[in-house]
């Protein structure tokens, strides 16, 4: 599978693994604005507190931290709990990169027979399946004639605790 630029411009085509059809995903993103936000140097402990005066502040741009291919990256909000054990919960915002080649073990956004889903890609011995990170959901295996399009690789998940 590969992602290649289309003739119409900065969109990319995700080539289907189980069908000879391909679908272009239009790029609605131009150049991202620079937004530098402060980040405290060091790490915050999740156990016992540490003295607060041991930190320095540096400014970071979230676009630079989360997005490596701006014209091939989009956000998608999660609906459901099939990936909760991977740390992806209902309402999280996924950062999805279409410029990366999906490989075994990547979490991907995929279109299966016209429906979109986020799952872990399992590709071994010529067989592909999409695996949830929640034991109450079934794996998605494919039969002849079914269509699977990998829309992109999930590179990050953004959580909101307060809105």
Positions annotated as catalytic residues are: 82, 119
Question: What dihedral angle (degrees, nearest 10) is formed by the CA atoms of 91, 97, 103, 108?
Answer: 20
Please say whether the beta carbons of 4 and 13 come within 8 A: yes
Q: What is the DSSP string of 89-130?
A: -TT-EEEEESSSPP-TT-EEEEEETTEEEEEEEEEETTEEEE
In whole angstroms, how large is the CA radius of gyration of the chain? Answer: 18
Non-local CB neighbours of 70 within 8 Å, separated by 6+ positions? 29, 31, 32, 63
**Residue with structure tokens 């290649």?**
4
- Distance between CA 127 and CA 116 in Å, rounded? 20
Q: Which helix (H) or strand (E) holds 62?
A: helix 62-66
């Amino acid at each position: 599978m590969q992602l290649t630029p289309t003739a119409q411009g900065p969109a990319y085509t995700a080539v289907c693994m189980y069908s000879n059809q391909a679908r272009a995903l239009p790029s609605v993103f131009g150049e991202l604005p620079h937004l530098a936000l402060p980040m405290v140097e060091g790490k915050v402990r999740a156990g016992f507190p540490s003295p607060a005066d041991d930190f320095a502040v540096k400014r970071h741009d979230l676009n630079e931290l989360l997005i490596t291919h701006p014209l091939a990256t989009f956000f998608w909000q999660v609906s459901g709990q099939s990936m909760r054990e991977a740390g992806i919960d209902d309402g999280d915002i996924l950062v999805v990169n279409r410029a990366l080649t999906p490989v075994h073990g990547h979490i991907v956004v995929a279109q299966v027979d016209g429906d979109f889903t986020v799952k872990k890609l399992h590709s071994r011995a010529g067989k592909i399946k999409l695996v949830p990170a929640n034991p109450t959901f079934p794996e998605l295996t494919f039969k002849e004639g079914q269509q699977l399009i990998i829309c992109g690789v999930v590179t990050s998940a953004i959580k909101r605790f307060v809105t």
